[in-house]
Every structure is written in C-alpha cells, then in structure tokens.
Amino acid sequence: MQIKQNISLKPYNTFGIDVIAKHFVSVDTIEALNEVISLQNYPNKLILGGGSNMLLTKNFDGLVIHINLKGIEVLSEDDNFVTVRAQAGENWHEFVLWCINNDFGGVENLSLIPGNVGTAPIQNIGAYGVELKDVFESCEAIPLESKTIKTFTKTDCNFGYRNSIFKQDAKGKFIITSVDFRLTKHSHKRHVNYGTIISELENQGIKNPTIKDISKAVIAIRESKLPNPKEIGNSGSFFKNPVISKSHFDSLLKNFSDIPSYPVSDNEVKVPAGWLIEKAGFKGKRFGNYGVHKKQALVLVNYGEAKGSDILDLSKLIQKTVERLFGIAIEAEVNIL
C-alpha cells in the first residue's frame, strides 16, 4: 500500500475533470483498507469507485481512497436461486457479463452502467425497468470510524428511486466492501416492457429472448443515446427525474399538452427531466468546452478541458430555467464535490 501525493484525478472520473488529490491510495485488500481508515493524519477522506457519478469542482485537500477490492464468488445455491458475492472494486458491467455467462438472471437490464459493484447500492442504480434492489440481498460495509464490518440487509438499505440509507443517515459514514446478489438459475423473469427493448428485440427478429439477448438490446439502446465517457466526458443523468403532484401536472398540461409522465401513486407522477431540459432549449447547446448532450438532454458533457465549476454553473442555470418555466425543482443525481 502506497500513499501517493498530488495525483491528477482526471483518469479516475468519467467527466474527465482535471483536479488534484493531495493524497491518493488504491486499496485492494480489506487489511489495507482497515490500515488506511485508521490513519489519524488524514481526517479528510474521499471514497472513490469508478468516478462515474461525481462532478469534481475543486482540488481535494485530503486522502482519496480508491476502492480496488476484487473477486466474485458463489456463496450458496439451491435448485432455483444462487447467491453471488462481488467485491466492491469489481467493475459493474463486467460483473453483469459474468452473471450472463453463467446464466444467472436478474442484472441483464442493468448492462453497461459504468462504475463499481460497491457503489451500486448507494443510489440503487436502475435502468430499463430494473433497480439494484430487485436483486440485492445484502452488503458489507466498514464504518469510517471503526473496523467492525456491518452487514446491511435489503430492509436496512431503505432503497428508493436513486436513493438508499447511504444517501440518508449513513451518508459518508461507511465504505461498502462487498455486495451479495440473489439471482435466478433458470426461468428468468424477463423485463422487456420498458422503453424500446421490445422493438429493439423485434428488429433483431428475437421473439423469446435469453438474458444475453436482453443485455445486448439494452446495450444497443444505451449506445444509441448516451455518450461513451471514453469519448465525451459525462456522468450519465446529471439530474433525477422529478416527482410532482398530480394537480401540478394537470396545470402544466394546459400549456404543455405533450408533457410525458409516469404514474408514481394516486396523487403523484414522475416527469422526465430530459423533456423539461429539452423544452427549456438546452438540448445540444454547447458552451465552449462543455454543454448538454445532443441526443439526451439529461446528460451534461465535457468536450475537453472544461472545469467542474463550469459544468456546475451550467447545471444551476438549467435548474433555474426549469423552475421558472415549469415550477419544478430538479435535483442533481451526480455527487458534487
């Protein structure tokens, strides 16, 4: 374990923002992690996974702990289900591919989401009709203040839309070290009704899709609208989709008859923030080195050497404009540091 000084975080965040970490350490064993946690002379610590859900707006004057714990194993199985444990530093998409190759079902709709397995519970990652909570069994985490590993069950995690206990009471207090998943061994539940999955499968002439077919369809859809961070810096959806009251929605319908919505409860609907941002005129807008993606208005992008503060300012302008036009406060999904 080596603590390095003055390291650029540019290769460690998918926005590609060039800020400096005063101290940086990559940990690949629990022992090394425990050792780092107990170091008294670094009170200010930042946990870093794949860096795909953060906007770095300034240099970090503390210790960045890069989670690089690796390993995937089958813990137990019965005739129908398997419990798989993946260490926190495993790449999420590679884990999904490992599951598909073993014909373990449940995570195929979550294909191609960047980031680490250990970060997935934090915002309960979701896409194409499936959320992490649907396959989550438990996770292990070390408190930053001690070395006693704690197990969080699904109930403990209090999962919601882009939300969990790790964004509430436990925020910034734990390092997730591994996640256990409950996956199907056969008769996989196929989630194909969301978005354009069915039409994508039909285009390929597939009527009875395998989990591999679903994964491929999801990958094709994602590649058609989301920018590849290796080519254009971004952090996926910058904002969450807002939930508003049905009465607020009905009043908006008078002026915006084409506003889309998804039911949440009897009194609430979810509105796609991408639609609000597009309607506000930002889709495809470029401001020098940064802007709003031309195919997905919910994604802010770094075309080159943008500063995190430029992108933060743009996000605030978008929030203000959406609030003025629709009376809706959209909240950042990305962690701003």
How many Å separate Cα 306 from the centre of its chain? 22
Judged by CB under 6 A, the residue of 50, 229, 274, 291 near ligand EPU is 274
- Residue 116 lies near ligand EPU (rule: CB under 6 A): no
Check the CA dihedral 198-295-279-233 and report its sign: positive
SS (H, E, C) 300-312: EEECCCCCHHHHH
Contacted by 240, from ligand EPU, ligand FAD, none: CB < 5 to 8 Å by type: ligand EPU
Q: Which amino acid is at 337?
A: L
Q: Which residues of 7-37 are buried (b: 16+ CB within 10 A; e: fewer)?
A: bebbebbbbbbbbbbebbbbbbebebbeebb
Asked if residue 236 binds ligand FAD (CB under 6 A), the reply is: yes
Query: Binding to ligand FAD by residue 201, rule CB under 6 A?
Result: no
Query: And the tokens for 205?
Result: 């002439």
Indicate which of ligand EPU, ligand FAD, none lies near residue 21 (CB less than 5 to 8 Å, by partner kind).
Answer: none
Angle at which helix 92-101 crosses helix 211-225, to 10 degrees, equals 150
Note if 52 is an active site residue: no
Q: Please indicate whether residue 162 is annotated as part of the active site.
A: yes
Region near ligand FAD per CB under 6 A, out of 40-48, 75-83, 289-297, 303-311: 40-48
315 is catalytic: no
Does the protein bind ligand EPU through residue 240 (CB under 6 A)? yes
Number of H helices, E strands in the chain: 8, 20
Binding partner selected for residue 50 from ligand FAD, ligand EPU, none, CB under the kind-specific 5 to 8 Å limit: ligand FAD
Q: How far is the CB of 324 from ligand FAD (least distance, A)?
A: 27
Single residue of 16, 105, 106, 115 touching ligand FAD by CB under 6 A: 115
| Whether the Cβ atoms of residue 18 and residue 10 lie closer than 8 Å to each other | yes
The answer to whether the beta carbons of residues 300 and 234 sit under 8 Å apart is yes
Q: Quick check: 88 binds ligand FAD (CB under 6 A)?
A: yes
**Residue 14 binding target from ligand FAD, ligand EPU, none, CB below 5 to 8 Å by type:** ligand FAD
Residue 278 binds ligand EPU (CB under 6 A): yes
Nearer to ligand EPU, 19 or 127 (CB): 127
Please state, in angstroms and rounded to a whole number, the distance separating the CA atoms of residues 31 and 299: 38
- Give CA 307 to chain center in angstroms: 21
Catalytic residue list: 162, 237, 333
The binding site for ligand EPU (CB under 6 A) comprises 127-128, 195, 225, 236-237, 240-241, 260, 272, 274-275, 278, 283, 296-298, 333
